Chain A
Amino acid sequence: MKAQRSTKSYVAATPWLDPEATPFIQIKGLSKQFDDFTAVDNVTLDIYKGELFTILGGSGCGKSTLLRMLAGFEVPSAGQIIIDGVDMANIPAYDRPINMMFQSYAVFPHMTVEQNIGYGLKKDKLAKAEIATRVKDMLHLVQLDELAKRKPHHLSGGQRQRVALARALIKQPKVLLLDEPLAALDKKLREQTQFELINLQYELGITFVVVTHDQEEAMTLSDRLAVMDAGRFIQTGTPTQVYESPNNRFVADFFGTINFFNATVVSADPATNTVCAKLEKTGTQLKANSDVAFATGTEITIAVRPEKIIVSQQRPEGDHLTITKGTVEDLAYYGNRSLYRIRSQSGRIIQVSAQNYQRSEALVLEWDDEVFLSWDSSCNVVLSE
């Protein structure tokens, strides 16, 4: 789903791996206290120039408060925000080199599309002629040329979203903040808009900070993302890192579905990056990759994504496979794929997502079919918390 950039530029666009790179936005020990409630709790984060960074979390996790502190609408209780080398502490919202696209878009209802988009430039006291040309260019960029004279209540949700985006982009901010940019759009429009956003960001080279509760939106948009819960960052990384190597149960569970197995460590060898573990009920032994030197007997969780599991009616052959047996208890046919809930011998339900790569009008598997489940041992994710 991620809009592909050329391999070359994608490699170059990983400044967080470069220890020499200077971060564009530095958030240091930032906290926000509301009476006796801590909305943001000692958050530290570096965001690099031209990055599309997403802060992901459920409602009330503090992500919006963090964004509002970046914009200057909330004063931090502690900590520091540095943007392009300048400490933002004493700079009010109207003087920050930051613009924001609001969740409800906050388009001025009494101004036309044109006036909305030109508002920021007007406040910068630019010449009328220049404002006019830049507004025209911006209208063209967001494909609203025809609607320049309309009032917002004659626009659709998607059009209003583009007005809000154009209004925020026209001042060519160093950082663009987007609060749930796609939440108010319907599914088709979301998919289209998210590619438009990525392309726009790539063309303009503006650093985007997005806040969202939608994990799919976060995955498709971001260069990197941070998962936030109760005012803290739980994990920061690229979408693939966070999805494939979650560092705890919360993150693993937050992204899509995942099967958890309780297990105890039999042996661990950090040198070869392997852990041998025994499943709680059945005692099945399995191997997983981990460089942590677990002591024997440590309780861990093994997590496996449903799409990593292969369902077959014959016992599969191969090395490094984790194999178990079960019966199909429930299935859901989605067209491109099917979701199976399979009761293993131990009585546990395992979720499996299988691509329907064969063309068949009959179901590949029926209820109560006996099946083998197998997956490569490298798909076992070891979670210690």
Chain B
Amino acid sequence: MSDSKRSVTKPYRQPLGDKLWRNFVIGVPYFWLVLFFLAPFAIVLKISFATPIVALPPFTPLLDFSANASHWLLATWDNYRFLTEDNLYWVSYFKSIKIAAISTFICLLIGYPMAYGIARATPTTRNILLMLVILPFWTSFLLRVYAWMGLLGKNGIVNSLLMNIGLIDTPLQMLYTDMAVYIGIVYTYIPFMILPLYATLEKMDTSLHDAAADLGAKPWQTFIDVTLPLSMPGIIAGSLLVFIPAIGEYVIPALLGGIDSLMIGRTLYDEFFVNRDWPLASAVATLLLIIVVIPIMLFQRSQQEQE
């Protein structure tokens, strides 16, 4: 009797194992991010304040506690100052942002109707269409970029086709132009645009479309007034997923772009591997992060506050 009474009045306490397990589940990804993202970034940040020397590693240590050192902290702004002085860096930053922005916009223009079509398809067709969007990931990215070289080259498929049907006499210069870079980036990143757009469009309440039509909105007005604003989270997510990797893209401009298509990824590579100026390369990377990530973070925060 007293036993059963005690068990009834005993307050419910969460078992210790539960709490541990929960912390563990949350902890693992955090640990992963700290180890493989934050720590390397801290190293890059550290190197960006060092001075290049011919040694291994090719930069001075940040902290020097040896007796003959004049200062224990050897940080310098020289690398950052150099970035502002040589307009090569600004040109490539600007070019990267321009190419990434235009590619993102093209991805949105092509991806939105595709995502909309997939979201409105019957469940069986929908799965097939989604599969087709993801399918290119099953082959190597590099291979697919090489395939575009084959397509766009002087003796490539596109040129020979156009010449065969008599549209052109001499082959068009398509490879090693900005256009080829756009094609490559849009082609590679469009699934990252389609998938988040599909996710928002698919769960959109269709009775909202009916309601707009019922209140006198023509189909295009329904799209502008209802569908587009409500798919904004998908548009933002998709655009960020395309824009962020596109801005630092190295392989596509290196393989498809011309000598002058100097994107920041290429500049970074040159500083790092050709000039072996690790501190300057680190400064380029850090500045890129600041230029791109901080406005995006501020934008997302303002979006959250609006909610």
Contact = CB atoms under 8 A, between A and B. Distances in A.
Contact of A123 (B205, B208, B210, B215): B215
Secondary structure dominating the interface of B: helix
B217 A106 contact: no
B215 A102 contact: no
Contacts of B216: 94-95, 120, 123-124, 171
B210 A73 contact: yes
Contact of B211 (A98, A106, A110): A106
Interface string B209-237: 01111111110010001100110000000
Contacts of A109: 230
Which of the listed residues A102, A103, A110, A123 has the most CB atoms from chain B within 10 Å of its own CB?
A123
A99 B214 contact: yes
Q: Which of A99, A104, A106, A168 has the most CB of B within 10 A?
A: A106
Contacts of B303: none
Contact of B208 (A73, A95, A108): A108
Nearest to B210: A73
Contact of B214 (A98, A103, A104): A98
A93 B229 CA distance: 22
Contacts of B205: 104, 106
Interface in A61-111: 71-73, 92-95, 98-100, 102-104, 106-110
A18 to B, nearest CB: 31
B140 interface: no
B230 A93 contact: no
Range class of the A interface residue count: 20 to 34
B210 A102 contact: yes
Given A120-B215, A123-B215, A123-B216, A106 B230 contact: no
B213 A73 contact: yes
B216 to A, nearest CB: 4
Nearest to B232: A110
B226 to A, nearest CB: 6
Contacts of A110: 229-230
Contacts of B214: 71, 73, 93-94, 98-100, 168
Given A167-B215, A171-B215, 15 more contacts: A73-B213, A94-B215, A94-B216, A100-B210, A102-B207, A102-B210, A106-B207, A106-B208, A106-B210, A106-B211, A108-B226, A110-B229, A119-B215, A123-B221, A167-B211
Interface of B: 205, 207-208, 210-218, 221, 225-226, 229-230
19 contacts: A71-B210, A71-B214, A72-B213, A93-B213, A94-B215, A100-B211, A102-B207, A102-B210, A102-B211, A106-B207, A106-B208, A106-B211, A107-B211, A108-B226, A110-B230, A119-B225, A123-B221, A167-B211, A171-B216
Interface of A: 71-73, 92-95, 98-100, 102-104, 106-110, 119-120, 123-124, 167-168, 171
